[in-house]
Structures are given as structure tokens and as C-alpha cells.
Amino acid sequence: MLQSKGYGATSADDALHHLDFQRRDPGPHDVQIQIRYCGVCHSDLHTVRNEWGNTVYPVVPGHEIVGRVVAVGNHVTRHKIDDIVGVGCMVDSCQRCDACGIGLEQYCENGFVGTYNGEEMHTGGMTYGGYSDSIVVHEKFVLRVPDKLDPAAAAPLLCAGITTYSPLRHWKVGPGQKVGVVGLGGLGHMGIKLAHAMGAQVVLFTTSPNKREDGLRLGADEVVVSKDAEAMARHQNSFDFILNTVAAPHSLDAFLVLLKREGTMTLVGAPATPHPSPQVFNLIMKRRHLAGSLIGGIAETQEMLDFCAEHGIVSDIEMIRMDQINEAYERMLKSDVKYRFVIDMATLA
Ligand code: NAP
Ligand code: ZN
């Protein structure tokens, strides 16, 4: 077994702290990665605090991983030693079901294996994530990080990037469309950059008036403070698509009424307690759609990384030391993230 060190939690009310644990030795199809950077996703916080009720302790979070290949199994063909690679939210799936067959591993009918807090297919143990010095992953779930991308700022693309890219592509966002992004955090700031690069007119909805300038700088054409009823009313019936990234329960009706006939609002935010049910009339009167979307498949994740390289897109990051992680979680809860924390794994003493 491979001795690893990292940061994790042993219970829901435990702060993150040093943890030593074991990973499997690389098998014939595995890549061993020395982790250089790991982004901090709100899902890490939900999981550490058992807000979704499914956490198995100890948990080592982190699914926005960028690092260097240090060993490969003898059947590995896609990656070689010293390559800069990425790992996102999944490290395995059944590879046999219909969903896996068309590159939608995130919807694997037998359940994909999460990068952390997932059940290992190989050893029967749990998976441990990127707040650590190394990781061992099947080569199929390892992404190439294009040279053009700064490796630290590329880390958040592995979750925040693909989670916003996939629905924007699925609902065919492009020129001539008016697209809303709700919430300016890790996912939201990537949603703005990507929708803007795809040619859409982008409107940011935020609860934080002080994020207006940043919203415009990141690529929004307009910023609306969602608590301002008059400003909201001016946008009624006008959106083709709204991407909702908010991590807390809120009124969906406030945004549904902004969709035009047959428009779609897709939820990617995953709050611990449910949103109040929307008014059915807000859906049926204009044949509007309310949808959800989960990360993205492996091939689509590579496509997103290549798209970002082509368009010069990375995340706006604030680099932190590993021992600043608990403070970073508190700031994330106050919507004080500009716009993704990334851990410099060299600081893991
Ligand atoms: P984040 O950086 O904390 O951003 C969330 C943003 O939501 C905040 O910055 C804030 O933006 C807004 N917000 C927070 N509390 C709010 C409230 N009470 N009312 C209204 N707005 C509020 O989080 P993230 O990492 O982007 O993740 C967002 C959510 O997506 C989390 O629930 C996460 O678990 C989920 N997620 C889902 C997937 C998926 O596959 N579907 C993948 C990754 C993450 P403003 O200040 O602009 O209002
Ligand atoms: Zn995530």
C-alpha cells in the first residue's frame, strides 16, 4: 500500500486536521500523481460537515486536483511520467452501462465512484481526495491539463469548470441568447466566463452588491442584485437559460418568472435542505423547464479543458496554505470567496 498524508475530518463537528492514510499501489491501468494544487469546492464543506447525510469518516476531501505523474502501470497508454494532469469528481464507474457507454460516467447506472467519500471498486475501502500529497487513479479518469493553462488556476476547472460547462453545452447556450447565472462563487464565476466565451449575453444575479464590479470584469454584461425587486421585474420573461449555482435554499420562483416561454433553469447548487417548492403556475403558463445537472463526463471534461486553453480561461484563485483550510471554509460560508480557494499542496507539512 501507498502511505499518504493529507487533511481530513473524523466527524461532522471536527475541524480538518492532519491525517495519515493508505492508498492502493498503482495497478496496470493506474496513474500515480503527486498533487501540486487542489481547489476548494463547496461540496467539500457539505461533505465534511455531513450536510448531505452520507459521509463516511474519516473523510479526506478535494476533487479539483492538478499534479504531476510520478508512476504509471505497465498498461497505461494515455499518460506518462512528468505529465501535468488533472482529476475531477470521479475516479471510476462501471464502464458497462448505457450511460458509461456514451461518456456520461457521472450518471453511471451502477453509481460512479466519487474522488472522495466513494466506495473503491478495487479494494472495497473508501476513496480519499485531493487534500493530500498523492493519488492513484485509473488512467481513464485522468485528464490532460493543456500547457497553456496555469496549473494552479486550472485546478478549479476540474469541478467548477465542468459543472458549469456541461449544462451550458447541453442546453446549447450560444450567440443571440440571454443567459442568467445565479450566485457569484466558485461555480458562478466559471459559469459567467464560459457562457460569455460561448457568445451569450450574460446577466449575473447576486445577493452581494459589492460583487458588481467583479461580475462585469468576469464577463457579465449586466449585474442584478437579486434582492432588488424592481431590477428583477425588469427582466421578466426574457431569459433563454438560467444556471443556478446557489448553495443555500431560496425561492426558485424569483428566477423562474424571468424565463421566457420554454426557457430552462438548471440547478447545479446542491443545498443541504430543500428549496421551497416553486409555484406550478410559473412553469405551466409558459411551458418553462426546471432541470438539474451533475458535473460532466470524462470526455466532456477534456473538451472543457481544451476549450479553456483555446479561450484563455482559468479560475480566479486565492492560493492558501493547507493549514488555512478551516478559515477558508468559514469565509466560503460568508460568500467571501474571490472566486476559488486553491490549496498549495507544497505547504502540507
Ligand atoms: P460557493 O463558492 O460558496 O458559491 C455559492 C454562491 O451562492 C455564493 O458565493 C453566493 O453568491 C451564493 N449564495 C450563498 N448563500 C446564499 C443564500 N443564502 N442566498 C442566495 N445566494 C447565496 O460554492 P460553489 O463551490 O460554487 O458551489 C455551489 C453549490 O454547487 C454547492 O451547493 C455545491 O455543493 C454545488 N455543486 C454542485 C455540483 C453539481 O455537479 N451539480 C458540482 C459542484 C458543486 P452571491 O454572493 O453572488 O449571492
Ligand atoms: Zn466540486
**Does 179 lie in the same domain as 150?**
no
Asked whether residue 206 is assigned to any structural domain, the reply reads yes
136-145 in b/e burial notation, b at 16+ Cβ within 10 A?
Answer: bbbbbbbbeb
- By most ligand atoms within 8 Å of CB, the mutation choice from 38, 54, 214, 268 for ligand 1 is 268
46 pocket-lining for ligand 1 (C-beta < 6 Å):
yes
pLDDT at 179 (0 to 100): 99
Which residue's CA lies nearest to atom 10 of ligand 1?
Answer: 183
**Does 66 lie in the same domain as 98?**
yes
Which residue's CA lies nearest to atom 30 of ligand 1?
Answer: 269
Asked whether residue 301 is assigned to any structural domain, the reply reads no
Which residue's CA lies nearest to atom 4 of ligand 1?
Answer: 185
Q: Identify the band that residue 223 occupies on the pLDDT scale cut at 50, 70 and 90.
A: very high
268 pocket-lining for ligand 1 (C-beta < 6 Å):
yes
- Compute, in angstroms, the gap from residue 97 CA to the centroid of ligand 2: 24
**For range 92-113, the mean pLDDT:** 97
Distance CA 77, CA 82 (A): 14
**Does 165 lie in the same domain as 154?**
no
pLDDT at 121 (0 to 100): 86
Count of CB atoms situated within 10 Å of the CB of 230: 6
**Does 176 lie in the same domain as 49?**
no
- By most ligand atoms within 8 Å of CB, the mutation choice from 112, 245, 340 for ligand 1 is 245
- Compute, in angstroms, the gap from residue 188 CA to the centroid of ligand 1: 7
Q: Are 56 and 125 a contacting pair, CB within 8 Å?
A: no
> Domain range spanning residue 325?
2-159+315-347
Q: Identify the band that residue 297 occupies on the pLDDT scale cut at 50, 70 and 90.
A: very high
Return the amino acid letter for 106: Q
Distance CA 245, CA 254 (A): 14
247 pocket-lining for ligand 1 (C-beta < 6 Å):
yes
Asked whether residue 176 is assigned to any structural domain, the reply reads yes
**Does 199 lie in the same domain as 69?**
no
Rounded to 5°, angle at Cα 252 from 250 and 258: 135
Q: Name the pTM for this structure.
A: 0.98
Percentage of residues in the chain having pLDDT higher than 90: 98
Write phi, then psi, for 222 (nearest 5 degrees).
-155, 145
**Does 244 lie in the same domain as 231?**
yes
pLDDT(122) > 80: no
**Does 322 lie in the same domain as 174?**
no
Q: Nearest ligand, CA of residue 335?
A: 1
Asked whether residue 304 is assigned to any structural domain, the reply reads no
Q: Nearest ligand, CA of residue 331?
A: 1
pLDDT at 124 (0 to 100): 84
| CATH code of the domain covering residue 183 | 3.40.50.720
Asked whether residue 300 is assigned to any structural domain, the reply reads no
Q: Are 188 and 182 a contacting pair, CB within 8 Å?
A: yes
Asked whether residue 320 is assigned to any structural domain, the reply reads yes
pLDDT at 123 (0 to 100): 80
**Does 180 lie in the same domain as 33?**
no
Sequence length of the chain is 349
Exposed, middle or buried, 14 (CB in 10 Å: 0-12/13-18/19+)? middle
pLDDT at 274 (0 to 100): 93
| CATH code of the domain covering residue 80 | 3.90.180.10
223 pocket-lining for ligand 1 (C-beta < 6 Å):
no
41 CA closest ligand 1 atom index: 25
Distance CA 62, CA 47 (A): 10
* 90-92 and 113-114 beta bridge pairing: antiparallel
**Which spans in the chain are helix H?**
42-48, 98-101, 151-154, 160-170, 186-197, 212-218, 229-233, 253-256, 280-284, 298-311, 325-333
Measured over the CA atoms of residue 248, residue 253, residue 254 and residue 255, the dihedral's sign is: positive
Rounded to 5°, angle at Cα 152 from 147 and 155: 90
**For range 168-175, the mean pLDDT:** 98
pLDDT(81) > 90: yes
Which of 292, 307, 326 corresponds to the end of one domain?
A: 292
pLDDT at 207 (0 to 100): 97
Which of 277, 292, 307 corresponds to the end of one domain?
A: 292
Q: Identify the band that residue 69 occupies on the pLDDT scale cut at 50, 70 and 90.
A: very high
Return the amino acid letter for 218: L
Asked whether residue 306 is assigned to any structural domain, the reply reads no
**Does 152 lie in the same domain as 15?**
yes
**Does 124 lie in the same domain as 34?**
yes
- Compute, in angstroms, the gap from residue 104 CA to the centroid of ligand 2: 17
**Does 322 lie in the same domain as 230?**
no
Q: Identify the band that residue 132 occupies on the pLDDT scale cut at 50, 70 and 90.
A: very high
**Does 271 lie in the same domain as 169?**
yes
Count of CB atoms situated within 10 Å of the CB of 282: 17
248 pocket-lining for ligand 1 (C-beta < 6 Å):
yes
**Number of structural domains the chain divides into:** 2
* Higher local confidence (pLDDT), 124 or 275: 275
Asked whether residue 302 is assigned to any structural domain, the reply reads no
254 pocket-lining for ligand 1 (C-beta < 6 Å):
no
